[in-house]
Amino acid sequence: MKYIVLNHKMNMDYKTMKIYLEQLKKLDTKGNKLIVCPSDIYLTNFLEAQFIVGSQNASSNKDGAYTGEVSAAQLRSLGVKYTLVGHSERRKYFKESNQEINKKIRLLLLNKIKPILCVGESLNEKNSDSTKEVIFKQLKGAFDKLSKKNVDNLIIAYEPVWAIGSGNIPTKEEIETVISYIKDLIFQNFNVNIKILYGGSVNEKNIDIINQVQGLDGYLLGTVSLDIEKMRVLIDKL
Ligand code: PGA
């Protein structure tokens, strides 16, 4: 069983989403665990259709006068089970810091929502051989004040920033090196066997390569998640 997390990002108008939803209902997931992360405005559509649903974000504040924000408690009250945190697009465009990411994680865990924490290096960082250093910093900031029990309820997604939406993926060996680094680090510090997903330009063609990576628990899909036919091919290859 692999986790297959669909990150729709800011895509699909209402009519397109309704058609997509009907197609998704017919998709055979072959025993894999599908988690759909649509735009917030469509969360209830996917929840009512009995999918396991995640949000793409949550506020770092508990409640109150924060126009446009959605809280962890609100998400929980709908039935949302997972939330993406620290996605590189949020770090880049919304200037999310590791400290804010940590606040989000703690609020989500308080509300029994499992955070899917995204970490990964930029191309410059990769080329200057600082991938591990960057990921260490992201993890250290995000895991501040977390207990072993907290970490047990968290999933990590390794998403190299340069791979997201680019069509480029790391080699099997490169992914293996990073995920075993993360797994070891978390085991040493929290005694937890953390679940790790890979994300960044996964598609129905390169899944053969990525699926050979030892120790991966699943995939975070962006672009390909919008195309049910391609997902069918992808899932068939797992
Ligand atoms: P991508 O996006 O599959 O389009 O690269 C992945 C992600 O950003 O989670």
Q: Where are the domains of the chain?
A: 3-236
Question: Given this model, what pLDDT does residue 65 score?
Answer: 98
Q: Which of 8, 87, 89, 121 is catalytic?
A: 87
Dump pLDDT digits (tens) for 61-119.
Answer: 999 999 999 999 999 999 999 999 999 999 999 999 999 999 999 999 999 999 999 99
Question: Given this model, what pLDDT does residue 205 score?
Answer: 97
Which string of DSSP letters, residue by residue, matches 101-116? HHHHHHHHHHTT-EEE
Q: Are strands 114-119 and 218-221 parallel, antiparallel or unpaired?
A: unpaired
Cα distance from N-terminal residue to C-terminal residue, the chain: 9
Whole-number Å distance between alpha carbons of 1 and 88 = 26
Is 55's C-beta closer than 6 angstroms to any atom of ligand 1? Answer: no
Please say if 87 is a catalytic residue.
yes
Whole-number Å distance between alpha carbons of 143 and 151 = 8
Please say if 159 is a catalytic residue.
yes
Residue owning tokens 């089970």: 81
Question: Given this model, what pLDDT does residue 196 score?
Answer: 98
φ/ψ bin of 61: left (φ > 0), alpha (ψ from -120 to 50), beta (otherwise): beta
| 9 Cα–ligand 1 center, Å | 9
Question: Given this model, what pLDDT does residue 124 score?
Answer: 97
- The average pLDDT across 208-228 equals 97
**Which of 8, 223, 231, 234 maximizes ligand 1 atoms within 8 Å of its Cβ, making it the mutation to test the pocket?**
223
Dump pLDDT digits (tens) for 1-58.
Answer: 999 999 999 999 999 999 999 999 999 999 999 999 999 999 999 999 999 999 999 9
Distances (CA, A) of 160 to 76, 88, 95, 135: 29, 9, 17, 10
Dump pLDDT digits (tens) for 172-200.
Answer: 999 999 999 999 999 999 999 999 999 99
Question: Given this model, what pLDDT does residue 215 score?
Answer: 92
* Contact predicate 37/55, CB 8 Å: yes
- The sign of the torsion formed by the CA atoms of 110, 83, 147, 138 equals negative
CB environment 17-26: b (16+ within 10 A), e (fewer): beebbeebee
Phi (first) and psi of residue 120, to 5 degrees: 165, 160
**Does CATH place domain 3-236 in 3.20.20.70?**
yes
Is 201's C-beta closer than 6 angstroms to any atom of ligand 1? Answer: yes
Dump pLDDT digits (tens) for 94-110.
Answer: 999 999 999 999 999 99
Q: Say which DSSP state 129 is in.
A: T
**pTM > 0.95: yes or no:** yes
**Which of 5, 116, 221 maximizes ligand 1 atoms within 8 Å of its Cβ, making it the mutation to test the pocket?**
221
Three-state DSSP at 2 gives: coil
| 135 Cα–ligand 1 center, Å | 18
Residue with the smallest CA separation from ligand 1 atom 7 is 222
Three-state DSSP at 170 gives: coil
Question: Given this model, what pLDDT does residue 145 score?
Answer: 95
Q: Which one-letter amino acid corresponds to residue 108?
A: L
Q: Which one-letter amino acid corresponds to residue 223?
A: T
Whole-number Å distance between alpha carbons of 171 and 80 = 34
Question: Given this model, what pLDDT does residue 133 score?
Answer: 98
